[in-house]
Amino acid sequence: MIRRFIVFNNSVYLHYMSIIIGHRLLEMMPIEHIRSKIEGELFDYTQLMFALSHYSKPRDAVSSLLKRGQIIRVRKGLYIFGTIWRRHIAAPEMLANVIYGPSAISLEYCLSWHGLIPERVNTITSVTTGRSHDFYTPAGNFSYTHLSDNRFSVGLIQHKTPSGNFIIAEPLKALTDKVWTDKRFKPISAASYSDYIFKDLRIDENVLETLLKYDRMVVIEKAYSARKVSWLMEYLTKHFKFK
């Protein structure tokens, strides 16, 4: 009899606890559900729908979240948390890698990031094996320039941050990408590069010298297999007296 009473009480307790928990879930705001289920700062539509799966109209909830600024749509199907609900600031470099891909940060933004040019570059510039594309989003502006597969894949490094990792070009790769993609620059020999690098691009000569490695120059030149890049490496080799 006592055992039956205990079993009955346990059943009643579990029943009422499930009701209480259910009410608590209903009382939670949609943003609380999402934040409790998603660890990172960047998430996609599938994750969003899963976090709101107990709602009868999850799409209406998403519209409300966007309107209140509790989540921000970076691009179709890709979101970050609004300011109040962030645990970390989503690194724009990390966003650049996932907004459009495959891609890696390079060109002007990368040159600035490595301290090679004095200007602050607001648009996150990347190279990609896809078509060239620009995105203007609430999280910033992102520009992507096409490169062939073999030219894209060489000279990339992974950088780690608290909010996630991202792929970025090494200094020489960023400079090479800039030289290659800049249609304004039409060199006639290796001697043409001095004014372009140090006056037009305003590359810091001292910083560049500390970042250059001859073995990387050989690898990148081989991957590009183009006279414009070969002249660049020839100029850098002579200017910094690698041989």
Tens digit of each residue's pLDDT (9 = 90 or more) over 145-190: 999 999 999 999 999 887 779 999 999 999 999 999 999 999 999 9
C-beta of residue 98 within 8 angstroms of C-beta of residue 90 = no
Q: Which two tokens stand for residue 186?
A: 């039409």
The pLDDT value given to residue 161: 80
Total count of domains within the chain: 2
Both 101 and 190 in a single domain?
A: yes
Both 106 and 164 in a single domain?
A: yes
pLDDT band at 242 (very low <50, low <70, confident <90, very high): confident
pLDDT band at 13 (very low <50, low <70, confident <90, very high): very low
Both 119 and 35 in a single domain?
A: no
Rounded Cα distance, 64 and 189, in Å: 59
Both 37 and 121 in a single domain?
A: no
Domain boundary among 85, 100, 131: 85
Both 71 and 119 in a single domain?
A: no
Rounded Cα distance, 92 and 124, in Å: 7
Domain boundary among 52, 85, 118: 85
pTM of the model: 0.83
Torsion on CA atoms 228, 234, 235, 238, rounded to nearest 10: 180
Both 138 and 156 in a single domain?
A: yes
Q: Using the 8-state DSSP alphabet, how is residue 90 labeled?
A: P
The domain that holds 53 is classified in CATH as 1.10.10
C-beta of residue 113 within 8 angstroms of C-beta of residue 107 = no
C-beta of residue 73 within 8 angstroms of C-beta of residue 135 = no
Tell me the pLDDT tens digit for each residue of 60-96.
999 999 999 999 999 999 999 999 999 888 899 999 9
**pLDDT of 14 strictly over 80:** no
**pLDDT of 8 strictly over 80:** no
Q: Which two tokens stand for residue 20?
A: 């209480």
Both 55 and 117 in a single domain?
A: no
Range of the domain at 170: 92-239
Average pLDDT over residues 45-49: 94
**pLDDT of 19 strictly over 80:** no
From 27, 31, 36, 29, select the one nearest 69 (Cα to Cα): 31
Both 75 and 100 in a single domain?
A: no
